[in-house]
Chains A and B, each alone.
Chain A
Amino acid sequence: AQKVTQAQTEISVVEKEDVTLDCVYETRDTTYYLFWYKQPPSGELVFLIRRNSFDEQNEISGRYSWNFQKSTSSFNFTITASQVVDSAVYFCALSDEQTGANNLFFGTGTRLTVIP
């Protein structure tokens, strides 16, 4: 069965520090998609990135970067020079044939607190 593990329940960093959020996944499928979502205190999940299993290129978007490594089944997310507005719960999610390929299977999330 598929599984998404976010071992870090809570992380606190001081503003301007870099922080990496870990995500380890399990799936039997060769075709799958990985996602990161941000859930700020307002509650609305915000889509950050989608990566498919055939594309292992790392991606950078501003202060955000993602490191996808199939060899370790990991899809880690790094925030550079963190800001208070980055404080939120971050979810890693998986979609594969077992999930029905049309819905997302979420991890339990990592709560990030950025201290000014």
Chain B
Amino acid sequence: DTGVSQDPRHKITKRGQNVTFRCDPISEHNRLYWYRQTLGQGPEFLTYFQNEAQLEKSRLLSDRFSAERPKGSFSTLEIQRTEQGDSAMYLCASSLTGTKTYEQYFGPGTRLTVT
């Protein structure tokens, strides 16, 4: 059974550069979520998709952030013009709909460092 995978695991970039992260959910899961986790804090919700539709966005998701899930399978999260405050772990999770909706399964995360 393949879990949620994320790529890359680590990314170091200079301020002002654009970065893109990828998430591959568990294959039968139609919901996909993005969270951000800073040091010493719990994850904070960014956005979620049901199939290819982006149904909810947090106000944490500024206009420099964009997420897509073009075919309802993998998803990408892009950050444009990165700032040092964007340094964090970016976590992806997936779940089923129905009675198992609230059981989200997380990937290993992408750690972003903006220098």
Contacts and interface: CB of A to CB of B under 8 A. Distances in A.
Contact of A104 (B31, B41, B45, B109): B45
Contacts of A4: 42
A114 interface: no
B50 to A, nearest CB: 8
Interface residues on B, range: 20 to 34
Contact of A50 (B56, B58, B102, B108): B102
A109 B89 CA distance: 15
Contact of A91 (B33, B42, B93): B42
Given A43-B108, A45-B91, A99 B45 contact: yes
A105 interface: yes
Interface of B: 31, 33, 35, 40-45, 48, 55-56, 58, 89, 91, 93, 101-109, 111
18 contacts: A37-B106, A43-B89, A47-B103, A50-B102, A91-B42, A91-B43, A99-B45, A103-B45, A103-B56, A104-B43, A104-B45, A104-B104, A105-B45, A106-B42, A106-B44, A108-B40, A108-B41, A109-B42
Interface of A: 4, 33, 35, 37, 42-47, 50, 91, 93, 95, 99-100, 102-109
